[in-house]
Structure 1
């Protein structure tokens, strides 16, 4: 399978050390995680490690730009001083963890929810048989956090910062927050009131509604939409399709099925369309990856879908939109082929 502009889902991890013992622990962590770049001083640098240069402070600034997770194996005080000049906010900062060189404690220092520091802290603590140190309010009060839920389904919430802050505050202070989901997502819902419908909401302060829908039926102003980003749009089209026609067609398609554009994970097509300007332009406008599936991959499963001799003659396979959506969603075709003027769409839904 060929992919163009594919989404990077691999977490980039840096392990920062300044003592020999810490460096050896970093090697153990890298082995257990199966990932990570080890940074250490010039005196301790060896094959498989990267030299800290020109200084720990300046290197920290560079690591903030390059990595999703920074694991410092040293004293917390040093780490606080090093990261202070580079902090922005929890929506941009990488996850910061601190581990003592005896591996007794793993501390989630920064970006516990959005950055994933809390999750990594639990994982490392388990791997090292260490004590996890987590201080975020929702966690210490054994409550789920809205930002964690959103992250687990790559979800979109309008006014994200303000909404997350408000909902998490209410949860910590025993507020009644409802949660209604149209699918069975595997979520941490501690502290939420789970709902079977969007009726009888009087006793609730707010309701989180997990949905792909652009429009919802309920008139209640308590409802906050959380849109999971897990839909793949498979596209088939004629060569040199008009850009505006493709854009208008996909808008009509999404409107017809009442799908919010924030629910789209990527656009996708066959390798023959890798340079189709209309699809590339649409992906750029929607700020989405454009992924490509090879004809060889499609040939393996095209018998599952409606065949077109015209498509076979011109492209080499019997169909495009459905098999592409099927393959990139892990075999879960959600909406079958929908035809426009020389354009076809289908949607696959990635299971979360």
Structure 2
């Protein structure tokens, strides 16, 4: 869920404009008690858009900040709608990209100060599944994951998995339906991003030779797609390149499928 929080009448008017253009968004005007309410929204995992001063936001959220891997994205806008600032979780939480999206909605200027701000983000979705998993279950998990991260299908470079899933009809048909490539990689390739996995399953490793299919495929594909975008050739996974890939959504799962989203940056 997206929560737009305003403190002035002018900010409320801007908030109403935003809510009308965003999916699954609510406007909270002058919530009271302010700090307690916004902390509740934040700890519940809501993505927050504040229309007020950055100092108020930081003082209010400081007691509940955890880390950049788990905190939800937070944006701050001025009440005139001139600037959009990704304040928290710029990379891992997707606030940088979200700021770009929001700025386009209201014709504002995104103010992005983190590293990689001037590079092009490449997103890849990795999926694993039981044999003959229904396409509907795969699609539901895929779309739910995109919505959770505030991404659109146009931002996804590919759907990917391990090579033993190269003939998995549900994945093949889903990629075709979405109009994106379906890429698969062998266990040697996927093992090169092993250190970046959020969790490791010894059971999965005993079956397919990697500790996690969805996260490994997402990370490795993001690297390869970023390299292709930059028109690089003879790619080797050197440390500098590996560090450009990051999980933006750790593995999510249903009864029969898993999904993860990764991002790399291309020049």
TM-score by length of 1: 0.41
Note the aligned Cα RMSD (angstroms): 3.9
Question: Which stretches in structure 1 are left out of the alignment for 5+ residues?
Answer: 1-11, 42-51, 157-184, 188-209, 230-247, 266-285, 292-324, 330-349
Q: Which whole-Å CA distance do the structure 1 matches of 2:252 and 2:102 have between them?
A: 34
The answer to whether structure 1 residue 262 and structure 2 residue 251 are counterparts is: no
- Matched with 1:22 is 11
Residues 108 and 216 of structure 1: is their aligned pair in 2 closer, same or farther, counting only changes over 3 Å? closer
- Matched with 1:97 is 75
Q: Which whole-Å CA distance do the structure 2 matches of 1:288 and 1:135 have between them?
A: 34
| Rg larger in structure | 1
Task: Flag the structure with more relative contact order, 1 or 2, with Cα contacts below 8 A and sequence separation at least 6.
Answer: 2
Secondary structure at 1:153's aligned position in 2? Answer: strand
Residues 74 and 251 of structure 1: is their aligned pair in 2 closer, same or farther, counting only changes over 3 Å? closer
Question: Which stretches in structure 2 are left out of the alignment for 5+ residues?
Answer: 128-155, 159-182, 216-250
Q: Residues 166-177 of structure 1 correspond to what in structure 2 (within 5 A)?
A: none
Q: Which whole-Å CA distance do the structure 1 matches of 2:98 and 2:113 have between them?
A: 14
Alignment counterpart, residue 290 of structure 1, candidates 255, 260, 266: 255
Deviation, structure 1 residue 228: 10
Moved over 2 A (4+): 152-156, 210-218, 223-229
Q: Which whole-Å CA distance do the structure 2 matches of 1:115 and 1:288 have between them?
A: 19
- Matched with 1:153 is 124
Residues 129 and 226 of structure 1: is their aligned pair in 2 closer, same or farther, counting only changes over 3 Å? farther
Q: Which whole-Å CA distance do the structure 2 matches of 1:217 and 1:33 have between them?
A: 36
Q: Which whole-Å CA distance do the structure 2 matches of 1:90 and 1:38 have between them?
A: 25
Deviation, structure 1 residue 59: 0.9
Secondary structure at 2:99's aligned position in 1? Answer: helix
- Matched with 2:119 is 143
Q: Which whole-Å CA distance do the structure 2 matches of 1:81 and 1:227 have between them?
A: 32
Q: Which whole-Å CA distance do the structure 2 matches of 1:13 and 1:131 have between them?
A: 20
Alignment counterpart, residue 133 of structure 1, candidates 97, 111, 126: 111
- Matched with 1:116 is 94
The answer to whether structure 1 residue 35 and structure 2 residue 24 are counterparts is: yes
Q: Is the 8 A contact 1:90 1:110 kept in 2?
A: yes
Please give the per-residue CA displacement for 1:314-343, whole angstroms capped at 9, x wherever unaligned.
Answer: xxxxxxxxxxx9xx99xxxxxxxxxxxxxx
Q: Is the 8 A contact 1:13 1:37 kept in 2?
A: yes
Q: Which whole-Å CA distance do the structure 2 matches of 1:214 and 1:60 have between them?
A: 44
Q: Which whole-Å CA distance do the structure 2 matches of 1:115 and 1:70 have between them?
A: 12
Q: Which whole-Å CA distance do the structure 1 matches of 2:185 and 2:28 have between them?
A: 43
Residues 289 and 24 of structure 1: is their aligned pair in 2 closer, same or farther, counting only changes over 3 Å? same
TM-score by length of 2: 0.53
Q: Which whole-Å CA distance do the structure 1 matches of 2:54 and 2:82 have between them?
A: 13
Secondary structure at 1:109's aligned position in 2? Answer: strand
Q: Which whole-Å CA distance do the structure 1 matches of 2:189 and 2:115 have between them?
A: 32
Deviation, structure 1 residue 213: 3.7
Residues 224 and 27 of structure 1: is their aligned pair in 2 closer, same or farther, counting only changes over 3 Å? same
